[in-house]
């Protein structure tokens, strides 16, 4: 941490800061310039509140120079990690296709969607049993019945399951059926939920909050990691901007940035970011090309009847093109499509 004093700062101001800092067990080095004084801090600064220091007399700026997340940081763990979900890898060597219906509606619809997913090359099945919806009057998912349908479809197809959990109280229930727990964008700073999934013994897919900086996203992952769970996959799904032509703005730059800052795998959701079927394939290509370790895509046998997010689901006639993208693009990046380990 570096503290820059204003030109008006007195020697007493500097002395007070040094006292506060040393009281916290941190060393302070004072450099007096012609116009201003700079104090460099060395040691464990996690106990120092930079905002409070900023409020002390004479202080102009307080700048943090090391990352505030430790466990997910690449600083102490330079090699990128691979997370395994029911034997399927998500990591630097592969591009994993996760596909399925946005919401589980019926056993038939879920099985059909899973078959569509497999036809396109998916090795993990997504499907929502608990749906966080902006409106309390919208379809909120089938709940436990949806989890059982997913488990049956896994039985039938062999695809491990990724599904969302929206309530800390449901974590054990969801974990008893699912292979991977998803935390959605609206819960990206629901710290109680993050801690609960951290303790659940299942890999976690953590979507970026639609208003979260990359640093806040990594801090959310740190909450999970701190409970002993390092099997976390980050998922970029679009951020909120002024543009209204797309539901959100897919931030592809976040993929290489997050991969540089963290050892965790990073995947992309091209369905929810754009919110439009015609953008799913272009954004999938962009995601793989920018270096994503996987993509998660909505497919639906009858999107016009979907209870949730129908207009963004891929349909039968899109699958051939998606399969081709999954066949051709990973190799361009020196990766391969992710298969289940046998």
Q: Using the rule CB under 8 A, is 36 a contact of its own copies?
A: yes
Among 158, 249, 321, 340, binds its own copies (CB under 8 A): 249
CB nearer its own copies, residue 170 or residue 179: 170
Q: Which is nearer to its own copies, 176 or 241 (CB)?
A: 241
Handedness of CA 113, 128, 200, 198 (dihedral sign): positive
Tracing tokens 């763990």 back to the chain, one arrives at 77
Provide the minimum distance between the beta carbon of 91 and its own copies in the complex, in angstroms, as a whole number.
Answer: 17
Rounded to 5 degrees, φ, ψ at 58 are 90, -10
Calculate the dihedral angle through the C-alpha atoms of 160, 161, 162, 167, rounding to the nearest 10 degrees: -140
Measured in residues, the chain has a length of 342
Side-by-side strand order, sheet with 27-32: 27-32, 37-42, 2-5, 59-63
Establish if 2 lies at the interface with its own copies (CB under 8 A). yes
155 vs 242, beta carbon nearer its own copies: 242
Candidates 277, 295, 314, 322; binder of its own copies (CB under 8 A) is: 277
CA dist., res. 279 & res. 210, Å (int): 18
| CA pair distance 119, 84, nearest whole angstrom | 22
Q: Are 58 and 9 in contact (CB under 8 A)?
A: yes
Q: Does 34 bind its own copies (CB under 8 A)?
A: yes
| Shortest reach from residue 320's CB to its own copies, in Å | 15
Does 337 participate in binding its own copies (rule CB under 8 A)?
no
Structure tokens at 140: 């909120």
Residues 162-191 that bind its own copies (CB under 8 A): 166-169, 186-187, 189-191
Nearer to its own copies, 4 or 323 (CB): 4
Which residue in the set 54, 87, 108, 336 belongs to the binding site for its own copies (CB under 8 A)? Answer: 54
User: Which tokens is 316 given?
Assistant: 């039968």
The interface with its own copies within residues 187-246 (CB under 8 A) comprises 187, 189-193, 209-211, 213-216, 219, 222-223, 226, 239-246
The C-alpha atoms of residue 257 and residue 94 are separated, in whole angstroms, by 18
Nearer to its own copies, 58 or 86 (CB): 58
Per-residue x/- track, 67-106, its own copies (CB under 8 A): -xx-------------------------------------
Question: Does the protein bind its own copies through residue 109 (CB under 8 A)?
Answer: no
Provide the H-helix boundaries in 84-123: 107-119
Query: Under rule CB under 8 A, which residues in 296-315 are in contact with its own copies?
Result: 303-311
Considering only 135, 155, 317, 341, the residue that binds its own copies (CB under 8 A) is 135
Scanning 51-59, 80-88, 90-98, 151-159 for contacts with its own copies by CB under 8 A, the matching segment is 51-59
Spatial neighbors of 67 by CB under 8 A, at least 6 apart, are 73, 75, 215, 218, 261
Q: Which of 107, 132, 143, 158 binds its own copies (CB under 8 A)?
A: 132
Q: How many CB atoms lie within 10 A of CB 164?
A: 23
- Tell me if 179 sits within 8 A of 203, measured CB to CB: yes
């Amino acid at each position: 941490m570096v503290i820059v004093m204003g030109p008006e700062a007195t020697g007493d101001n500097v002395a007070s800061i040094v006292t506060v800092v040393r009281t916290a067990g941190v060393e302070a080095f004072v450099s007096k310039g012609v116009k201003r004084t700079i104090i460099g801090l060395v040691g464990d600064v996690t106990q120092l509140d930079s905002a409070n220091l900023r409020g002390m007399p004479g202080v102009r700026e307080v700048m943090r120079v090391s990352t505030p997340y430790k466990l997910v940081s690449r600083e102490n763990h330079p090699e990128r990690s691979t997370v395994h979900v029911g034997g399927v890898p998500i990591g630097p060597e592969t591009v994993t296709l996760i596909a399925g219906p946005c919401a589980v509606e019926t056993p038939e619809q879920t099985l059909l969607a899973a078959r569509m997913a497999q036809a396109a090359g998916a090795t993990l099945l997504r499907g929502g049993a608990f749906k966080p919806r902006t409106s309390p009057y919208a379809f909120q998912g089938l709940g436990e019945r949806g989890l059982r349908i997913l488990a049956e479809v896994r039985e039938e197809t062999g695809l491990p399951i990724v599904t969302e959990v929206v309530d800390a109280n449901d974590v054990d229930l969801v974990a008893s059926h699912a292979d991977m727990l998803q935390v959605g964008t609206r819960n990206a700073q629901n710290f109680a939920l993050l801690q609960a999934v951290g303790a659940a013994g299942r890999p976690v897919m953590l979507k970026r909050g639609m208003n979260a900086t990359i640093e806040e996203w990594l801090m959310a992952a740190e909450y999970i990691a701190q409970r002993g769970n390092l099997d976390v996959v980050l998922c970029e799904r679009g951020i909120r901007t002024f543009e209204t032509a797309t539901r959100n703005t897919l931030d592809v730059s976040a993929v290489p940035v997050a991969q540089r800052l963290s050892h965790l795998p990073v995947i992309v959701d091209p369905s929810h970011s754009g919110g439009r079927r015609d953008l799913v394939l272009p954004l999938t290509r962009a995601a793989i090309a920018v270096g994503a370790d996987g993509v998660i895509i909505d497919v639906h046998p009858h999107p016009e009847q979907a209870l949730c997010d129908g207009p963004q689901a891929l349909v039968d006639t899109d699958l051939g093109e998606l399969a081709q993208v999954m066949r051709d693009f990973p190799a361009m990046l020196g990766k391969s499509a992710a298969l289940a380990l046998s």
